[in-house]
């Protein structure tokens, strides 16, 4: 049953991508709160479309960096791809608390960018399909606690959740999404 639900979610995103008429790279953003299932859906769509999936987790400069990840996402990933140039970004090393060596991605027909903040207003001019993944708080919390990286995330959960709440209230990312997926 859960697999069928994922297949239906993936089909919705793929249909939206196929309906997009843009030439060059089509950017699909997948946003939502932590634990909503953004990565799972983005990875499944990427697999189905043979499209790369980039994560904002590589751009957040630490646990207080949700908003700070958006300008690099625009400058290093979205704008270059829209202009037909390779994306080039410097991932955040969470252990060293510093940027690491550059990664690069040549333009492809579709690129998915997932993570809290991916539906940002600043990214919208470069976004073909903005997806919001909706999930109730209790389910999100249960999923987060089941993740293998929970012990490292747990001490920062409240701090990160406060940023998410403020960010999504200000940016109204759910309201501005092209496609809302309810993920149970």
Domain count of the fold of the chain: 1
Q: Which token pair is 63?
A: 């646990």
Q: What is the mean pLDDT of the chain?
A: 94
Answer whether residue 31 shows pLDDT above 90.
Answer: yes
Torsion of CA 162, 5, 21, 26, to 10 degrees: 50
- 21 pLDDT tier (thresholds 50, 70, 90): confident
In b/e form, how buried is each residue of 168-180, taking b as 16+ CB within 10 angstroms? beebebbeebbbe
Answer whether residue 148 shows pLDDT above 70.
Answer: yes
DSSP 44: H
Answer whether residue 67 shows pLDDT above 60.
Answer: yes
- 167 pLDDT tier (thresholds 50, 70, 90): very high
Domain assignment of residue 48, given as a range: 2-182
Torsion of CA 152, 51, 83, 73, to 10 degrees: -10
Answer whether residue 70 shows pLDDT above 70.
Answer: yes
Q: Which token pair is 5?
A: 């639900």
Nearest to 59 by CA among 37, 77, 47: 77
Position 184 scores a pLDDT of: 78
Answer whether residue 178 shows pLDDT above 50.
Answer: yes
The mean per-residue pLDDT over the stretch 137-160 comes to: 95
Q: What is the enclosing helix (H) or strand (E) of 133? A: strand 127-134
Position 2 scores a pLDDT of: 38
Position 183 scores a pLDDT of: 86
Number of helices and strands in the chain (H, E): 8, 9
The mean per-residue pLDDT over the stretch 59-71 comes to: 97
Write the CATH number for 167: 3.40.50.300
Position 1 scores a pLDDT of: 30
**What is the rounded distance in angstroms from the CA atom of residue 128 to the CA atom of residue 26?**
6
Percent of the chain with pLDDT over 70: 98
Torsion of CA 132, 13, 17, 131, to 10 degrees: 0
Position 88 scores a pLDDT of: 98
- 55 pLDDT tier (thresholds 50, 70, 90): very high
């Amino acid at each position: 049953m859960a697999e069928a639900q994922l297949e239906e979610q993936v089909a919705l995103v793929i249909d939206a991508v196929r309906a997009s008429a843009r030439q060059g790279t089509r950017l699909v953003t997948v946003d939502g709160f932590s634990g909503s299932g953004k990565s799972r859906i983005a990875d499944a769509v990427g697999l189905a479309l043979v499209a790369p999936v980039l994560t904002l987790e590589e751009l957040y400069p630490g646990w207080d960096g949700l908003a700070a990840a958006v300008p690099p996402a625009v400058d290093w990933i979205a704008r270059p791809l829209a202009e037909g140039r390779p994306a080039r970004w410097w991932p955040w090393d969470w252990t060293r608390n510093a940027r690491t060596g550059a990664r690069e991605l040549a333009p492809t027909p579709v690129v998915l960018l997932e993570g809290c903040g991916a539906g940002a207003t600043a990214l919208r001019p470069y976004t073909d399909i903005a997806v919001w993944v909706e999930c109730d708080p209790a389910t999100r919390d249960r999923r987060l606690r089941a993740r293998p990286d929970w012990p490292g995330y747990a001490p920062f959960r409240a701090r990160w959740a406060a940023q998410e709440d403020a960010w999504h209230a200000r940016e109204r990312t759910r309201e501005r999404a092209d496609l809302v997926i309810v993920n149970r």
